[in-house]
Amino acid sequence: MNKSELVEHIAKSADISKAAAARALEATMGAVRTTLKKGGTVSLVGFGSFSVTKRAARTGRNPRTGAAIKIKAAKIPRFRPGKALKDAIK
């Protein structure tokens, strides 16, 4: 499912226009993005939680030459599914 299909599904399920569903989805994604950027977490009970984790610096390999390269430390977004989501997939 891509973003436009998700907007269409939200519009049908909530009985709203596609434009309103798209605005709602953008607002939700923007809120999650802003919260993660500030270092916070977003928990949606029954669905899961979004957080930011730190990835340590490490040594990698250039696949073309085989030479060792240094990969910088980075902050990455992480999603942990909730119990209800895990149970729904079984």
Residue 43: the pLDDT is 96
Residue 45: the pLDDT is 94
Confidence of residue 78 (pLDDT cuts 50, 70, 90): very high
Token look-up 């569903």 returns 21
Q: Note whether 49 and 80 are within 8 A (CB).
A: yes
Average pLDDT score over residue span 17-24: 96
Cα–Cα distance for residue pair 30/20, rounded to 1 Å: 15
Q: Is the pLDDT of residue 90 over 90?
A: no
